[in-house]
Amino acid sequence: MRCRFRGVPAARARRLRERARRAVRAALRAEGVRGPVEVSVLLADDATLQALNRTYRGKDRPTDVLAFPQDGRVLGDVVVSVERAAWQARRAGHPLEREVALLVAHGTLHLLGYDDQTHAGYRAMRAAQDRVLERMRFPGRRRARSP
């Protein structure tokens, strides 16, 4: 797994790198993925996510996480806004590391085919996220928006 940073202070990036790696591994294990696969994670700022969201989804606003699936052994890319994650963590009352883990897991689950745009899909995604966070020893759910 590759983990890169853009617009994230170095001290914060070092703390979050291992958490992102663990989240990808936990999501892959929770979903029974075996064998060598590649996931790239970019921890970035709101400006980066807004530009990507505008380019690829036609939405000119920042978002917390985007996933770009690929094929085969290369599952794809997950891009997380650390700024948005920090705001969401404060709002939910839990550490930034937990929020980043949740968002990286969420993006990884999208790469594995989860779709949270319907009520049933949203519920399946939430259940899968909970399994991943439990594997990482982060208890409880966060408050989240529904589709």
- Given the structure tokens 């409880």, which residue do they identify? 140
Q: What's CA 120's distance to the chain center, in Å? A: 20
Fold for domain 2-135?
Collagenase (Catalytic Domain) (3.40.390)
pLDDT in tens, 86-112: 999 999 999 999 999 999 999 999 999
- Residue-wise pLDDT for 106-138, tens only, equals 999 999 999 998 999 999 999 999 999 988 887
pTM of the model: 0.88
Per residue in 25-69, pLDDT tens? 999 999 999 888 999 999 999 999 999 999 999 999 999 999 999
**Is the Cβ–Cβ distance between 80 and 118 less than 8 Å?**
no
Q: Are 74 and 38 in contact (CB under 8 A)?
A: yes
CA distances from 48 to 57, 84, 105 (A): 14, 11, 19
